[in-house]
Structure 1
Amino acid sequence: MIVKIRIDDRLLHGQVAYSWKSALSYDAIVIASDDAANDEIRKVALKLCCPDGVKLAIRSIKDAATLLKNPKLASMKVFVVCPNPKSVYDLLQLIEERATVNLGGMQMEPNKILFSPAVYVNKEDIEYLDKIVESGIVLEVQEVPSKSVKEYKSLRNKVDFSK
Structure 2
Amino acid sequence: MELKDHILMTRIDNRLVHGQVGVTWTMTLGANVIVVIDEAAAHDVLQQKLMRTVARSSGADIRFFTVDEFVKVFPNVSENQRLYLIVHDPLPIVDLLKAGIPIQSVNVGNMHFAKGKMALNRKVYVDEADLEALRIIESFNVSIFIQDVPGSVSEKLSGLDEVKFVLR
Question: TM-score, normalised on structure 1?
Answer: 0.89
Alignment of 1:11-160 (within 5 A): 11-52=16-57, 53-72=59-78, 74-153=79-158, 157=162, 159-160=164-165
SS state at 1:140 partner: strand
Runs of 4+ residues over 6 Å off in structure 1: none
Residues 138 and 58 (structure 1), Cα distance of their counterparts in 2 relative to 1, 3 Å cut = same
Q: Unmatched 5+ residue regions in structure 1?
A: none
Residues 71 and 154 (structure 1), Cα distance of their counterparts in 2 relative to 1, 3 Å cut = closer
Once superposed, what is the RMSD of the aligned Cα atoms? 2.0
Conserved 8 A contact 1:115-1:159: no
Q: Structure 1: how far apart are the matches of 2:74 and 2:150?
A: 24
Aligned residues: 162
What is the deviation of 1:153?
2.1
What is the deviation of 1:21?
2.0
Conserved 8 A contact 1:6-1:80: yes
SS state at 1:108 partner: coil
Q: Unmatched 5+ residue regions in structure 2?
A: 1-5
Q: Structure 2: how far apart are the matches of 1:29 and 1:64?
A: 12
Question: TM-score, normalised on structure 2?
Answer: 0.87
Question: Alpha-carbon deviations, 1:95-119, whole Å to 9, x = none?
Answer: 3423211111111111112211221
Letter in 2 for 1:55: D
Q: Structure 2: how far apart are the matches of 1:110 and 1:103?
A: 19
Q: Structure 2: how far apart are the matches of 1:106 and 1:17?
A: 17
What is the deviation of 1:159?
4.2
Q: Structure 1: how far apart are the matches of 2:34 and 2:151?
A: 20
